[in-house]
Structure 1
Amino acid sequence: MTAQHAAAPRQAPTQALRRAAARAPVRGARGEPAAVPSLPAPRGPLSRAVADVLSAGPPPDPRHGPAPDPAVADVLPGRDAWAAVRAADPYGDDLQLALHTCFELHYRGFAGVDPDWEWDPDLLRLRRAMEEAFLAALRRDVPGGSDVDAALAGLLTEPVDASGVTHHLRGAGEWWQLLEHAALRSVYHLKEADPHAWVIPRLRGRAKTALVAVEHDEFGGGRPEMIHQGLYAGLLDDLGLDPSYGAYVDAAPAVMLATVNMMSLFGLRRSLRAALVGHFAAAEITTAPSARRMARALERLGAGPRAVLFYTEHIEADAVHEQVLRHDVIGGLLEQEPELAGDVVLGVQATCLLEDRLAAHLLDHWRSRPPRSALRHPPPGLPAGPVRGPANGPVSGSVSGE
């Protein structure tokens, strides 16, 4: 623990973080974070079906004929699968976790899961049905339109009386809330910029060149030690949390998973390339001011330098990135394909919608009386409010104390 860590009073992280860390992938022999996560625990029939299929062994060999995949058919027959998707809340835990699990096959996969499941046709059909349900909900719940400038204008100027998650953490947030925020955001930040790389081969000319320049910065600008994913792992480690990839997926509610699933959905569909660009621009526009507030929150609560570095690195970089994305990526794309303006707007508006839902979830829990954990598994048998730790550090047995 650094002197800076010991300088400020803390509160213990919730038992939910401890439980999630206990379920996280085991570290390697040298203590480094595990590179491949374990399958998350199911939350309903869809996520259970996906988990059962992936843990049943390798997919059928396609050379043996086009018969339906027996593993998928056994756990969720075709007709039942579509019925389950139609019955599921498109923003709910079950569908969002099932989607996240399917999408993760395109990233790092899971320990003990055959990588060939990534392209199993029956699993892809189920995933597409879930994608369509999620996409239909997003289209239904955003204003729509094709005026890109108007969609971005509201993000360029922040209201004086704005009050969001980072405002709360900067001014009144407590240590346990900071840890919950860090754990939940790890679901994305440990794969930061990976979903956006899917769009590179789908762009041309100025738009492609500009987006690659932004991604180059996200991936460290040629310096492996500065890759943003690695900086976030350093933040987690500095806060005493598990920096392993996927460590806190089980703790993450659907509102967090949905923000990452949206990126994967837009990135993996060529038809939604403009939506991914719109999302990326919206995210970069809002990052610099929120990163400044997070850096102040971390400093106020006594976090170490590696935790602060992640956000200070984003303050200047993302202020530049949003200019590049607005003028060169979006501008270049719409010069070539002006008919995609509506999809750019979809990406901007869907990002705002899902981030607002996540913020409401966090603040509703943290500001309740007594305060409650925003994670999926509040500690059973303990007071509804967080337990205070001693002024000189975390309580014994907490994640920060391990």
Structure 2
Amino acid sequence: MRIPDTRGPLTSALFTVLAQAPDAAGTELDRLYRLAARQVAGTGDIIGDEDIQLALFCLYELHYSGLDSVSDNWEWEPALIRVRQLVEEPFEAALRAAAHQAAGDFELPDRGAITSDEVADVLFGLAAMDTGPSLSRYVARKASLEQLREFLVHKAVYQLKEADPHTWAIPRLSGRPKAALVEIQADEYGGGRPERMHSALFARTMRGLGLDDRYGAYVDAVPAVSLASVNLMSLCGLNRRLRGAITGHLAIYEMTSSQPNRFYGNGFRRHGFGAEVTHYFDEHVEADAVHEQIAGRDLAGGLVEAEPHLLADVLFGASAVMALDSRLSAHLISSWEAGASSLRTAVPAAA
């Protein structure tokens, strides 16, 4: 991925550091750490902080496809990991607060042992509590062609690497939950056929609307909350202690995906697009109806049966998804209803 434009002093300092070799950036690394400490202490909304969320997104990107012209040796540079952890701690605290608010009065079972079926029931109950604005219904009934393109731009930050953050959990699991996650991920990656990978299907949808399908092409265009949604996945996937959260994240994703994707597909059909564009959404209507049972019972449920103390983190991961999705949906809908763009920068019109 190319290095994005800076959004403030933190990303400016980070990109200055990354332009050098790790063994030549000592002074700049110290400055970066001090700057990060000041910035996270001074922000009033870390989830919506453009500079912080972009910096964290790029730090995580070193563990995925990397950044153009940046040495791979930065990936595990201890001083840079220190900076990432400095930002992660308040970010996680803000996510936990948002997740707690999203869950409302939802209560955990008041006993230690809980079966996998009971875990699934808890997660389905949590999903049913989601009362946030319905972006999928707006897309189905009202979204203009330009708003559909914006919708895809927001989603592209994750969908063009769909499944990758959850795959980090595979070596952190064993037995039943590991097998369940591998089964889900095999479908996400197209069952061995690259043209059927969900990321490839989404890229085809983007091309159908005249958008650039290269990963990271629109990072500059999306706001902090879109980046925060992806950073949540990376935070939970890359930290073993949060293996419960990443399974809860995937479970609630699957449990709340089938019907919205039906609406999304209908929104594109309303504008005259055919299967070449809607295949991505139509695929998820069917696949996620199956995945929700596997993710809820065998993945998240199997994990909690094996490690009961992880139930709270499973629910944190699930509730955090709901909180950020609700915030992003509210941003898109309020922007569109006001006749404004939901993006930071304009996306060129389709050729």
Q: TM > 0.5 between the two?
A: yes
* Structure 2 Cα separation of the partners of residues 353 and 105 of structure 1: 26
Residue 60 of structure 1 corresponds to which residue in structure 2?
23
Map 1:125-164 → 2, pairs under 5 A: 125-143=82-100, 146-147=108-109, 148=119, 149-156=121-128, 164=134
Q: Deviations over 1:99-140 (max 9, x none)?
A: 001000000111111111111111111110111010011112
Amino acid across the alignment from 1:40: P
Could you list the runs of 5+ residues in structure 2 that have no partner in the other structure?
110-118
Residues 378/239 of structure 1: CA separation in 2 closer, same or farther (3 Å cut): closer
Residues 163/357 of structure 1: CA separation in 2 closer, same or farther (3 Å cut): closer
Higher relative contact order structure (alpha carbons within 8 Å, sequence separation ≥ 6): 1
Residue 75 of structure 2 corresponds to which residue in structure 1?
118
CA radius of gyration, larger in:
1
Map 1:179-328 → 2, pairs under 5 A: 179-328=149-298
* Deviation for aligned residue 1:70: 2.8
* Structure 2 Cα separation of the partners of residues 81 and 176 of structure 1: 37
Q: Give the TM-score taking structure 1 as reference length.
A: 0.80
Amino acid across the alignment from 1:93: E
* Structure 2 Cα separation of the partners of residues 158 and 105 of structure 1: 33
* Deviation for aligned residue 1:306: 2.1
Conserved in 1, the CA contact under 8 Å of 2:133 and 2:330?
A: no
Residue 41 (1) aligns with residue 9 (2): no
* Structure 1 Cα separation of the partners of residues 8 and 216 of structure 2: 20
Conserved in 1, the CA contact under 8 Å of 2:133 and 2:326?
A: no
Could you list the runs of 5+ residues in structure 1 that have no partner in the other structure?
1-36, 62-67, 380-397
Residue 350 of structure 2 corresponds to which residue in structure 1?
400
Conserved in 2, the CA contact under 8 Å of 1:152 and 1:348?
A: no
- Secondary structure at the aligned position of 2:278 is classed as helix
Conserved in 1, the CA contact under 8 Å of 2:223 and 2:343?
A: yes
Residue 374 of structure 1 corresponds to which residue in structure 2?
342
* Structure 1 Cα separation of the partners of residues 183 and 134 of structure 2: 30
Q: Percent identity?
A: 43
Please, what is the CA RMSD of the aligned residues?
A: 1.8
- Secondary structure at the aligned position of 2:190 is classed as coil
The structure in which a higher percent of residues are helix is: 2
* Structure 2 Cα separation of the partners of residues 350 and 157 of structure 1: 13
* Deviation for aligned residue 1:351: 0.4
Amino acid across the alignment from 1:60: D
Residue 331 of structure 1 corresponds to which residue in structure 2?
301
Amino acid across the alignment from 1:280: L
* Structure 1 Cα separation of the partners of residues 211 and 188 of structure 2: 23
Residue 97 (1) aligns with residue 54 (2): yes
* Structure 2 Cα separation of the partners of residues 349 and 163 of structure 1: 16
* Structure 2 Cα separation of the partners of residues 311 and 80 of structure 1: 42
